[in-house]
Amino acid sequence: MPIDLEQIKPLIAAALAEDIGGGDITSNATVPEAACGLALIMAKQEGVLAGIDVCRQVFLAVDAGLAIEARKADGDTLDLGEVVMTIQGRTRSILAAERTALNFLQRLSGIATATAVYVAEVEGLRARILDTRKTTPGLRALEKYAVACGGGRNHRMGLYDMVLVKDNHIEAAGGVTAAIALAREGTPDGTAIEVEVQNLAQLEQAIAAEPDVIMLDNMKPELMERACRMAWAAPARDRGRLRLEASGNVTLDTVRSVAECGVDFISVGALTHSAPAFDFSLQLKAVG
C-alpha cells in the first residue's frame, strides 16, 4: 500500500503548525537569516526504515528550496550510524522542520522495525503477520504502510472495506449463523466476510456458513489447535476458501507457538499501538 503524498500534505501542514506556530523564536534569534547548513539524519540503532518520503515532504513544506537526498529507501535495513538522508539549504528552515520530520520518521520506522521482528519470529511457518485498526487517529494509512515496510500484511483499512463480524454483532444478530447470513445479504457480492469466534460451538456454526476468514479470538493454544483441526477438515478449507486468523494479546513470546497451531494469519495490535520509536538524530554542519 503506497503512500499518497497528496493525501498526507494536510497532515504534514497540521503537524508543522502544531510545532512551529507563529515561528521558531530560538532559531530566528540565534541563526543569521542568510545562514546555510548541511544536515545529516542518522540511525542511532539497527532496524527497518519507513517514512523517508514523508520526512522529505516535511522539509519541502517548510522550504521548497532545500536540496534533499535520500540515502536509503523504505523497507531497507539500517545499521547503527547509517546516514539515511542529507538536507542542504537555509539553516533556519532545516531547524524549523527537524522535529516534525523526525517525529514521522521515528514513529513509522519504529513500527516497521517491530513488525520485522514479529515476521522473523514466524519464519518458515504458514502464518503471516497482520496489523489491526489499533492505530493513532489520523495516522492509519501511514502506520499500515509502515507495517508493510516491515514485512507484515495489512488487514482492513476501516469499517468500510471488509465485513468483520465480532461478538457484539453476533449478539445483535442472534447468533453466528444469522450474523453471517445477514452480512452476505447486506453487502455487495465479492465483499470479504470474516467472523470472530471464541469457542468450538461458534466455530462449528461459522465453518458451516463458510465465511472467507474465521478469527480465533483469545483462544489458548490447546483450544486453538483443536479449532485448527476442525477447520482443516471442513470442505471449504479443502476448496481453498476458508482461512484462519488468530487474534488477541499476541506477544513476541507467544507468536511462534500461535503460528505452530496452523493458522494462516496472526493479527497483532502491538505493531501499531505499542511499537517503540526508532532513534534518529539530525546533525547540522554550518556551510555559510
Query: Is there a contact between 269 and 118 (Cβ–Cβ < 8 Å)?
Result: no
pLDDT for the residue numbered 288 = 64
- Decide if 217 is catalytic: yes
Residue 277 phi/psi, 5-degree rounding, is -65, 140
Confidence at 97, pLDDT banded by 50, 70, 90:
very high
Using CA atoms, how far apart are residues 13 and 7, in angstroms rounded to an integer? Answer: 11
pLDDT for 195 beyond 70: yes
Query: Across residues 234-255, what is the average pLDDT?
Result: 89
Percent of the chain predicted with pLDDT > 70: 99
Using CA atoms, how far apart are residues 155 and 135, in angstroms rounded to an integer? Answer: 12
- Decide if 196 is catalytic: yes
- Decide if 6 is catalytic: no
pLDDT for the residue numbered 280 = 98
- Decide if 99 is catalytic: yes
Query: Is there a contact between 191 and 162 (Cβ–Cβ < 8 Å)?
Result: yes
pLDDT for the residue numbered 206 = 97
pLDDT for the residue numbered 235 = 85
Query: Across residues 129-145, what is the average pLDDT?
Result: 97
pLDDT digits (tens, 9 = 90+) for 224-237: 999 999 998 888 77
Residue of 131, 194, 196, 245 marked catalytic: 196
Query: Across residues 75-88, what is the average pLDDT?
Result: 98
Domains for the chain: give ranges and CATH numbers.
Answer: 5-118+275-286 (3.90.1170.20), 162-267 (3.20.20.70)
Query: Is there a contact between 93 and 27 (Cβ–Cβ < 8 Å)?
Result: no
pLDDT for 22 beyond 90: yes
Residue of 131, 143, 217, 264 marked catalytic: 217
Length of the chain: 288
Residue of 44, 99, 140, 256 marked catalytic: 99
Report CA-CA distances (Å) from 50 to 47, 77, 122, 146, 189. Answer: 10, 10, 21, 6, 35
Residue of 134, 153, 156, 226 marked catalytic: 134
- Decide if 220 is catalytic: no
Residue owning grid cell 520518521: 105
Using CA atoms, how far apart are residues 288 and 224, in angstroms rounded to an integer? Answer: 65
Q: Provide the grid cell at 185.
A: 445479504
Q: Are strands 77-78 and 47-48 parallel, antiparallel or unpaired?
A: antiparallel
Task: Compute the CA torsion angle 53, 279, 36, 10 (nearest 10 deg).
Answer: 40
Query: Across residues 155-162, what is the average pLDDT?
Result: 96
